[in-house]
Amino acid sequence: MTSTAGVAGAPLLSFHDLTLGYGARASLRGLTGEVRFGDLLAVVGPNGAGKSTLLKGIVGVAALLGGRIERHRAAAIRDIAYLPQRAEIDTSFPISVQDFVAMGLWRRIGAWRRLGRAEDLRVDAAIAQVGLQGFEAVPIGRLSGGQVQRMLFARTVVQDAAVILLDEPCAALDERTAADLMTLVREWGREGRTVLATLHDLDQVRASFPRTLILSGGVPVAWGETARILTPDNLGRSRGAAGPEAGSPGASAPLREGPALRLAAAAP
């Protein structure tokens, strides 16, 4: 496993009055806070909140329009595993599941070197870990949406990064697939990895992410321990703004309230 290269709880990423966007248009403004080594941090909020923009800013895709990001060396852009939204993956490309997952090794071995026996075994183990054993030779264009997401997670497993960013990892997935992938996220947490994920299912957040950042309309609403942050008051404030993120493809779904949240909201 890649070393986490830091002490749990120490700052990994620090944001100082951060503003990110596309071109000259800001999609996220005024974010200040820290992501710590070993954090499992859920980023939630309605459409246009700036969730995807934050992840893209961390990996240098969204433009830095103001403020700054301080990084520990373990959070260098080239060392981060970034899993984009499924809609951003071109599944028409003629490549097999095994070849796609092996792309996670490119940073270590280069794009043109043939895989050795050890790399082949590593790729096959990752495919099996996400429940796609037997699909190694299948063209990626023949996969269902849930299978594509499992394949993306397998590539992330192969990357073996200490810092992992997941953009809408459970969007439009069946319950079993989502549960399997969240189990893998919790395993990464036990291994000391740092995971930031944009999510809409608040039950998933409560079950798997000890820390939560709520964004709304491109500004932060609350950030801290999930049990203290996911309150009816904060979630109500987060619904005060909507609309697609400026310049960002694919608006996301609204927050989904589970039974526990609905009961909390109804309590006197």
pLDDT in tens, 184-223: 999 999 999 999 999 999 999 999 999 999 999 999 999 9
Question: Of 12, 63, 62, whose CA–CA distance to 35 is shortest?
Answer: 12
pLDDT digits (tens, 9 = 90+) for 82-122: 999 987 888 899 999 999 999 999 777 765 567 778 899 99
Q: Are 97 and 140 spatial neighbours (Cβ–Cβ below 8 Å)?
A: yes
User: How is residue 155 written in tokens?
Assistant: 């590539």
Residue with tokens 């909201």: 265
Residue with tokens 């989904």: 256
In this predicted structure, what is the pLDDT of residue 89?
Answer: 86
State the sign of the Cα–Cα–Cα–Cα dihedral 122, 128, 130, 132.
Answer: positive
The answer to whether residue 258 scores a pLDDT higher than 70 is no
Average pLDDT over residues 11-28: 97
In this predicted structure, what is the pLDDT of residue 112?
Answer: 59
Rounded to whole angstroms, how far apart are CA atoms 188 and 183? 9
| Whole-number percent of the chain with pLDDT over 70 | 85
Cα first-last separation, the chain: 48
Rounded to whole angstroms, how far apart are CA atoms 138 and 97? 6
Q: pTM here?
A: 0.86
Q: Are 69 and 56 spatial neighbours (Cβ–Cβ below 8 Å)?
A: no
DSSP result, 213-226: EEEETTEEEEEEEH
The answer to whether residue 264 scores a pLDDT higher than 60 is no
For residue 44, name the pLDDT band (cuts at 50, 70, 90).
Answer: very high
The answer to whether residue 266 scores a pLDDT higher than 50 is no
Q: Are 129 and 184 spatial neighbours (Cβ–Cβ below 8 Å)?
A: yes
Q: Are 152 and 144 spatial neighbours (Cβ–Cβ below 8 Å)?
A: no
Q: What does the mean pLDDT of the chain come to? A: 87
Average pLDDT over residues 132-153: 96
Rounded to whole angstroms, how far apart are CA atoms 153 and 184? 9
| Whole-number percent of the chain with pLDDT over 90 | 75
pLDDT, greater one: 137 or 264: 137
